[in-house]
Chains A and B, each alone.
Chain A
């Protein structure tokens, strides 16, 4: 399971005198969905560009299934399918013509495989339409189709759910999950939608100012820590804050018309009981998982998110 698909070894990028990537080292395993998050300008896209050889590394190396992107480019990139930034296609060609174009660039892609990929991303009906008429969601699907043509071992997707409707997001998410579990593909996803990453990924790396500031398993946090973020809409709010402090020792803060605090889920009935007994009206109780988002904000600071 923990076979390495891609390894970054002290990857640095200097542009002029400025070091924009300051030594990234991490590995991505086969069958793993790895999320790369960070605010705009943190170096996500630069990192991805270096992974696929669009930018040269100033230092270090990227190894794909043990093959160096620097010295063995052709062999290494053969294993990679990617969308870098937006899924840009030739607007004057149809979906089918676009895919045929990319299929011709790698030996051994049959017509059957092209059809298979089209079916996977659900674009059968749009194949004869010009890409210029596609919606962003359709272009995104075509982008994924293009990346899958040659059955890569590593799939790199930059903002893959951008422009998709909720049903489309779900579909793509399920498909990516299936690729990872069934075909043991390593998937690297970059996104600024934290909830998205959390739902999709096994592990995330948070990048800030060209450095990896955190690397963590997505599920492990929920296991270790039972605290939930709880929001309650109550009146009067001031009285409720006092009550929480006095009876339960919970320090709550007021967010607009409601309370916000952390507690275990099991405590909620007794908290509500306290409020009711003390003439505080409860309108709404909302429980959110103690999330990545908070961690993300802790690490990065709320204002810098793009």
Chain B
């Protein structure tokens, strides 16, 4: 192992040797299992469609949905779109796949905000805890530059988020496979997009859905990392990062009339606003603009962390 690899290994060891990290994973696992159980009990999901009968099954479903709609006013919206989806299959003569592990994974996209949350907690502690434990003094008196130590810590945080993300994907898939079975290795389904209904690959949806959310994850983790390094206080870092993550959109809407609103970080974290025919939050914003703004924020976060970590004295308490 090279010198730098060993540093990253050290950081990951310190992370995964602690029980609190495993509690996070257990929590994630329980939540995924819970979603699986609930979906299994209450979802009226057709598990599979037979080659020769799927047309009748869909038509029967449509009939049920229409009667439901007449009885319950509030079901109108959702049932209409379900009927439209079914009609799309019928009109285009596509045999639908039943609900399976891949779709379960796709729907668990929301869990990525939990991954963000856990990554923030880890990022917030990785520098501040060393100061709290006093171990920072023993780390910094090694023949290693402070820049390298900081970089190893940051990369370890990214590894943590990657591992956690993989855990969510894998565990969701396993739970999905147990409860709903695996329909095919690369299923496609009809989804409602801005441009209308579209027949898309579930796999592609998973990648783009999780991918777009990764932007927020990385930005907020880097933000927490910065606060942790500058103020050497993990609680403050967790608090501000989670608070901003939750109210980020409200902040943007509060200032939306101002000319500088488009420079707010949270106006740019959702890159999905430029795809699938969506309209950008503020007129005139483009993908290129948002990516530039994100890079600038990212660079500033890292630069501040670096300056404070390498230049400041490690004094007593």
Question: Which of A's residues lie within 8 Å of B, judged by CB?
Answer: 45-46, 49, 52-56, 73-75, 77-78, 80, 82-86, 88-93, 97, 101-102, 104-107, 146
Contacts and interface: CB of A to CB of B under 8 A. Distances in A.
Contact of B143 (A46, A49, A74): A74
Nearest to A101: B10
B7 interface: yes
B14 A93 contact: yes
Given A89-B135, A91-B133, A53 B17 contact: no
A89 B14 CA distance: 12
Contact of A54 (B10, B14, B143, B313): B313
Interface in B1-17: 3, 6-7, 9-10, 13-14, 17
B133 A52 contact: no
Interface of B: 3, 6-7, 9-10, 13-14, 17-19, 133-135, 137-145, 313-316
A85 B133 CA distance: 12
Closest 9 CB pairs of A and B: A88-B134, A55-B313, A54-B314, A78-B143, A105-B142, A104-B6, A74-B143, A84-B137, A52-B141
A286 B227 CA distance: 60
B10 A74 contact: no
5 contacts: A52-B141, A73-B143, A85-B137, A85-B316, A92-B19
A49 B138 contact: no
Given A92-B18, A93-B14, A107-B3, A102 B315 contact: no
Nearest to A158: B137
Contacts of A53: 140-141
A84 B134 CA distance: 9
Given A93-B14, A93-B17, A101-B10, A106 B143 contact: yes
Contacts of B141: 52-54, 77, 80, 82, 84
Nearest to A91: B133
Given A75-B143, A89-B138, A146-B138, 20 more contacts: A45-B316, A52-B141, A53-B140, A54-B314, A56-B313, A73-B145, A83-B138, A84-B137, A85-B316, A86-B134, A88-B133, A88-B135, A91-B133, A92-B17, A97-B13, A101-B13, A102-B142, A105-B6, A105-B139, A107-B3
B145 A74 contact: yes
A106 B142 contact: yes
B10 A88 contact: no
Contact of B137 (A56, A88, A97, A101): A88
A54 B145 CA distance: 12
Nearest to A102: B138
B134 A74 contact: no
B6 to A, nearest CB: 4
A121 to B, nearest CB: 16
B10 A105 contact: yes
Contacts of A88: 133-135, 137-138
A104 B134 contact: no
Contacts of B10: 101, 104-105
B206 to A, nearest CB: 36
Given A105-B139, A146-B138, A49 B314 contact: yes
Residue among A82, A91, A105, A106 with most chain B CB within 10 A = A105
Contacts of B145: 73-74
Nearest to B19: A92
B143 A77 contact: yes
A55 B315 contact: yes
A97 B17 CA distance: 10
B313 A74 contact: no
Given A56-B313, A88-B134, A104 B9 contact: yes
A56 B311 CA distance: 8
B175 to A, nearest CB: 30
A84 B313 CA distance: 14
Nearest to B1: A104
Contacts of A101: 10, 13-14
A197 B138 CA distance: 24
Contacts of B13: 97, 101
Given A49-B313, A93-B14, A93-B17, A105 B7 contact: yes
B143 to A, nearest CB: 4
A92 B22 CA distance: 14
Contacts of B140: 53-54
Contact of A90 (B135, B142, B143, B314): B135
Contact of A77 (B17, B137, B142, B316): B142
A105 B6 CA distance: 7
Nearest to A45: B316
B134 A105 contact: no
A125 to B, nearest CB: 21
